[in-house]
Homo-oligomer: A and B are copies of this chain.
């Protein structure tokens, strides 16, 4: 009797389990079923297939050595039987069989298993709104959808698009439509900012502004009420109606997130989480020890909060697959959990994050503070330097680092900092660990005091009460409320300060940083002073300096107020 392993789902997790198990258990009989005709493809590459960065769909289904990962490849090279277009109908755990249906012939049969693996992935959330079944309304849930979308967007009469949902897929598809296909695109997000939960509003706003610069209409805090077609209740889509406006649309992409595809597990009586993810232990076994699950259909454990976290990512599916194969083969491997790391390209920007945003950290009960810095991504004297914004989320009382977010150019510079902090998060680092994070240093790659170390230092200064910060929100209230008790002391060069002096004549003064000590008598002692520069360094130093000279009420302006006021910090610093 051979050892039989049945795998349901053949996109990311399934093939990984199958291939590794083949190496660990050469004797096992491995059968993988999938209801789709496409198997073993890089689903995360779909937006790049739409944008033609990936020239054809075969590239997404090929190995790095250009061999198509199809049924024949799995049979001949891997010794794994794949049955595409085959749906799993149900699991009989007592008999240890899976009922299946051949979707071509309609025939049903049973597959016996010794171990069963569920890699059923996720399903797109379809918002309960009228019109989502109209022609040219798509989800981006699998390669078949992608092919259908591609066929549509190449048509010359498709000139307006609406993308619903501003998570990674929504934004990536928006970029593909607007950039390559020059389709006028509106991005609608129900929550207050793009990448909700992943980023805080201030960091997300940089991405929003960049999307707008690229011609995308970004509509946050806006709910889609219905989608209308060319005829009453049918035909091709014509417009999307939100709670604020009507948006013309020749194509609509629904990217309102995904949920675990766990119905098969549920019907089989396996334990599910509140969110509907399959519950697995650190060996990725379900509540039935003969059934494993991984990838988008399970809920992971957060190494930051200790609680459950839903992180549907191809990278985790691959790592899950490896552990599942090892366990089935009797090895002692574990999947410890996830910190939740995330990265996305948005036109010319990269946004990356790991751990918790401040919004999430507060929701999880932490006394969460955030610290924002800006600095160069390599030595400031190197010609190819660029500015990078970093935000650290820390727990005030314990000084524990809960998360990091970064925004910079669309190269790997932000990833260098975010991934290094991501590596630390499971050890529950303190802000001092960020101050001393040892990035490899050489001027073409980092700064002597690297931006991520400066971020840790700034967080420590804030927690220690040395850095007394005024947030952008507070400043805007003072400025636009005309509060003359507050005086903004601009430490930039006179040329830079001029437009603000003109805009806020009673609330703005300018003394260049190097002159502050000699011109201190010009700074009134009976007003609240808010120091401001474009890097955050000089404003902090000057805040400390004025306080030491006995000024009773001094704050340092959180950077990027100037951005809010309409001038970009990047144009300031060079």
Residues of A that sit less than 8 Å from B by CB: 12, 16, 19, 23-24, 26-27, 42, 44-45, 48, 53-54, 59-60, 62-65, 67, 73, 76-77, 79, 168, 313-315, 317-319, 322, 331, 333-336, 338-339, 341-345, 350, 352-354, 375-377, 379-383, 410-413, 415-416, 418-424, 427, 432, 435-450, 453, 457, 464, 466, 513-518, 533-535, 537-538, 541, 544-545, 548-549, 573
CB distance from A489 to the nearest CB of B (A): 15
A464 contacts across to B, CB distance below 8 A: 331
Contact A435 B23 (CB under 8 A): no
Contact A445 B535 (CB under 8 A): no
Select A64's contact among B317, B413, B453, B535, beta carbons within 8 Å.
B535
Given A382-B53, A419-B420: A446 in contact with B343 (beta carbons within 8 A):
yes
Contact B437 A382 (CB under 8 A): no
Give the docked Cα–Cα distance between A350 and B447 (Å). 16
A317 contacts across to B, CB distance below 8 A: 448
Contact B12 A448 (CB under 8 A): yes
Give the docked Cα–Cα distance between A439 and B440 (Å). 17
Give the docked Cα–Cα distance between A45 and B380 (Å). 10
Nearest neighbor of A343 in chain B, beta-carbon distance: B440
The 18 sampled A-B contact pairs (Cβ below 8 Å) are: A23-B544, A44-B441, A44-B442, A44-B443, A45-B379, A62-B381, A64-B376, A67-B513, A77-B516, A315-B446, A322-B457, A334-B432, A341-B440, A343-B445, A345-B445, A410-B444, A420-B422, A422-B438
Contact A436 B319 (CB under 8 A): yes
A168 contacts across to B, CB distance below 8 A: 442
CB distance from A318 to the nearest CB of B (A): 4
Contact A26 B381 (CB under 8 A): no
CB distance from A157 to the nearest CB of B (A): 29
Contact B438 A514 (CB under 8 A): no
Contact A448 B544 (CB under 8 A): no
Give the 3 A-B residue pairs with the shortest CB-CB distance, closest first.
A26-B548, A343-B440, A315-B441
Give the docked Cα–Cα distance between A424 and B420 (Å). 8
A339 contacts across to B, CB distance below 8 A: 438
Contact A415 B448 (CB under 8 A): no
Which of A335, A383, A457, A518 counts the most chain B CB atoms within 10 A?
A: A383
Which of A42, A420, A457 counts the most chain B CB atoms within 10 A?
A: A420
Select A77's contact among B67, B376, B466, B517, beta carbons within 8 Å.
B517
Contact A443 B45 (CB under 8 A): yes
Give the docked Cα–Cα distance between A64 and B319 (Å). 42
A79 contacts across to B, CB distance below 8 A: 517, 545
Give the docked Cα–Cα distance between A26 and B345 (Å). 44
Contact A415 B440 (CB under 8 A): yes
CB distance from A70 to the nearest CB of B (A): 11
Given A419-B440, A573-B65: A412 in contact with B445 (beta carbons within 8 A):
yes
Select A423's contact among B63, B353, B421, B432, beta carbons within 8 Å.
B421
A440 contacts across to B, CB distance below 8 A: 341-343, 352-354, 415, 418-419, 422
